[in-house]
Structure 1
Amino acid sequence: MAVLGSIREVFGIDRLRALAAVAAHGSIAQAARALHMTASGVSQQLAKLEREAGHALLEPDGRSVRLTHAGRILAGHADLLLTQLAAAQGDLADLGQEVLGPLRIGGVGSAVRTLLPDALAALTADHPRLRPTVVDGESVDLMPRLIHGELDLLLIESWAGRPVPAPEGVTLRTLVSEDVHVALSERHPLSDRRTVDLADLAGTAWACCPPGTAPHEALVQALRSRGVEPDIRYLLAEHATQLALVARNLTASLVPAMSARPAPPGVRLLATRPALRREIRAAWLTRAESPPVRACVAAVEAHCRSTGEGPPAEGGAPAPAVP
């Protein structure tokens, strides 16, 4: 224990985590993917660690690298330390199995707005010593914050055809599965349909979330699969803002069911051909699962059961158009 304590004092935890990842995955590139970092970021961490250790920790191995003898020794200690830290976090969180203390939540806007308010109200009423905090954002930005320990629980989206990856050490649980609709102005020539083939929307201007986000990638993939090159003119993070432009017949938008409530006057929601779906998933670090995380996931699941969040069963009636 004394050795581990002294290692922790001398070397930063993030740098030891980078070394352990290279040892586990065999390359800086693979370690970077596992840690949701850039390869240059991992290299910088390892360069600092080498200076602190006073030994070369990596050596060239063809086009890749391998650990030196000193690197293997330090990586072994890093594994022990990281395991000990995870166990300590679990022991403290499980103390008495009480749901108390901070709970740092990140989520996509529609999930935060639709799923969290009632769930958190019930949760904090039952556990007044719990201190939840919430930030919204896109899955691509929130996942690294979970991996690095800045957040405890995420509510992220996963679109059919562009499923959210399950990083190593992260538990994913599906909370909601829902239809995705095309939002058109009631003045659009195709707005009287109940279902629209995406191929029929060639030449249509689109509003969408910024590049790199799951909704943007899902829209591009869905249109190109029907032979349509996307004409995305409005990059807007919020579906509510996209729908405001749809209502003025400026654009079309792909909108998940929970994001379309309430839709502004003048907007109609059409089922798509092929059908598109989105899931909202809870995500947390498996090693850092705690009573607050478990209680919050359970509260959101209870909310979903009580409100029937999500689409009708397969084969059910299509979503009604919004006048």
Structure 2
Amino acid sequence: MLGLDRIRALCAVADHGSIAAAARVLHVTPSGVSQQLAKLEKEVGVPLLVQVGRGIQLTPAGRLLAHRGDEILSLMAQAQSEVASLDRDVSGELVISAVVSAGRVVIPEAIAQLRQLHPALSVNFVADDTDDIIPAVVRRDVDLALVEGFATMPRHLPDDIVYTRIHDDVVDIALPKDHPLAGNDVIELAQVTDLPWATWRTGEVFHTWLLHTLRSRGVNPRIKYEVPEFAAQLEFVARGLAVALVPRLARVWVPDDVALIPVHPRLQREIYTVRRKDNDRPSVRAGMEVLTGIFDAIAGSPAP
């Protein structure tokens, strides 16, 4: 019988391209991964890996077994979820991840509620970018996550992921208080052309979305300040150096010298929960219920 640990090691090598990378993901030593793979090759009786230069490559048999291994691991995870569902107590460990702005505002409240409602549940959290969170969910490193998306930038998602829209986060424009348009009730993006922009770094999702959005509305932005944090971008705005687009979930603290004004037509990003289809444990459902309640309260509160 093939051992699950050996199957898991092969799948990790297939997903990450090397024994060293697989070892990091599995939290074992590279020699441990190599030993598992050697045992697996002995069990199946055919080579699964071949040396190519300084790296390795899966043989046809290795690719086939890795594909079937993903299915086996998914079935095992589903079975564990179904067995756990028979127990009415929410316990064990729940690993949550989220984009930074949602993590700062929502996740602390969610964890506090989960601890109060389910004392036997241990919750761990890590903040990350959407592009890194989704692969972590696929690898089963994360059970439940909050990620961002934009209707104008559709994202390809793996088939084994459940992606549920949970909140629409309005995006406003941040202007220096002494800007001529700072007293407006609403602003057209085409009106703002006199100052450079502060936004996230090139290649990050929000940076790409800002460029796409502004150019679609006739603005060719001068992005002079690439700052990977909305709070820091607001400091550039407060000093009259830039303008910025800031989601309302990210507005933990706003400097006195900054005016935040709605944009017409309205801008928004979508917040989604993400989990694997085969991970429907009671702890994941409890996390979903708490997050849904928090976002429902945010949606029902007056706009800041």
CA, structure 1 residues 294+190, in 2 after alignment: closer, same or farther (shift >3 Å)? same
* Corresponding residue number in structure 2 for 1:262: 253
Over the residues paired in the alignment, what is the CA RMSD in angstroms? 3.2
* Corresponding residue number in structure 1 for 2:275: 284
* Corresponding residue number in structure 2 for 1:152: 143
Which letter maps to 1:232?
A: I
Which letter maps to 1:4?
A: L
- Structure 1: 5+ residue stretches without partners: 20-34, 59-65, 313-318
For residues 65 and 273 of structure 2, the distance between their equivalents in structure 1, rounded to whole angstroms, comes to 34
CA, structure 1 residues 170+14, in 2 after alignment: closer, same or farther (shift >3 Å)? farther
**SS state at 2:296 partner:** helix
Which letter maps to 2:10?
A: R
CA, structure 1 residues 239+73, in 2 after alignment: closer, same or farther (shift >3 Å)? closer
Say whether residues 1:13 and 2:8 are aligned partners.
yes
* Corresponding residue number in structure 2 for 1:295: 286
- Residue 275 of structure 1 and its aligned partner are, at CA, apart by 2.1
* Corresponding residue number in structure 2 for 1:274: 265
- Residue 113 of structure 1 and its aligned partner are, at CA, apart by 2.3
Which letter maps to 1:242?
A: Q
Which letter maps to 2:296?
A: R
Sequence identity percentage: 32
* Corresponding residue number in structure 1 for 2:53: none
Question: What does the per-residue CA deviation read over 1:268-307, in whole Å, with 9 as the maximum and x for residues that have no partner?
Answer: 1122233211122111111122111110110111122334
Question: What does the per-residue CA deviation read over 1:31-62, in whole Å, with 9 as the maximum and x for residues that have no partner?
Answer: xxxx6x6xx669x98xx87996443789xxxx
For residues 70 and 249 of structure 2, the distance between their equivalents in structure 1, rounded to whole angstroms, comes to 43
1:33-44 aligned within 5 A: none
- Residue 146 of structure 1 and its aligned partner are, at CA, apart by 1.5
- Residue 210 of structure 1 and its aligned partner are, at CA, apart by 2.1
Query: What TM-score do you get using the length of structure 1 for normalisation?
Result: 0.74
1:228-247 aligned within 5 A: 228-247=219-238
**SS state at 1:204 partner:** coil
* Corresponding residue number in structure 2 for 1:28: none
CA, structure 1 residues 307+201, in 2 after alignment: closer, same or farther (shift >3 Å)? closer
**SS state at 1:142 partner:** helix
Query: What TM-score do you get using the length of structure 2 for normalisation?
Result: 0.79
CA contact (8 A) 2:170 2:268 kept: yes
Say whether residues 1:55 and 2:47 are aligned partners.
yes
1:21-170 aligned within 5 A: 53=41, 54-55=46-47, 68=60, 70=61, 74=65, 77-78=68-69, 81-91=72-82, 93-170=84-161
CA contact (8 A) 1:17 1:78 kept: no
* Corresponding residue number in structure 1 for 2:29: none
CA, structure 1 residues 107+4, in 2 after alignment: closer, same or farther (shift >3 Å)? same
Which letter maps to 2:274?
A: A
More deviation, 275-284/70-79: 70-79
For residues 240 and 187 of structure 2, the distance between their equivalents in structure 1, rounded to whole angstroms, comes to 17
* Corresponding residue number in structure 1 for 2:31: none
**SS state at 2:262 partner:** strand
- Residue 185 of structure 1 and its aligned partner are, at CA, apart by 0.6
- Residue 201 of structure 1 and its aligned partner are, at CA, apart by 2.3
**SS state at 1:283 partner:** strand
The count of residues paired between Structure 1 and Structure 2 equals 280
- Residue 247 of structure 1 and its aligned partner are, at CA, apart by 1.1
* Corresponding residue number in structure 2 for 1:178: 169
For residues 178 and 7 of structure 2, the distance between their equivalents in structure 1, rounded to whole angstroms, comes to 60
The partner residue of 2:209 within 218, 221, 224 is 218
For residues 91 and 190 of structure 1, the distance between their equivalents in structure 2, rounded to whole angstroms, comes to 57
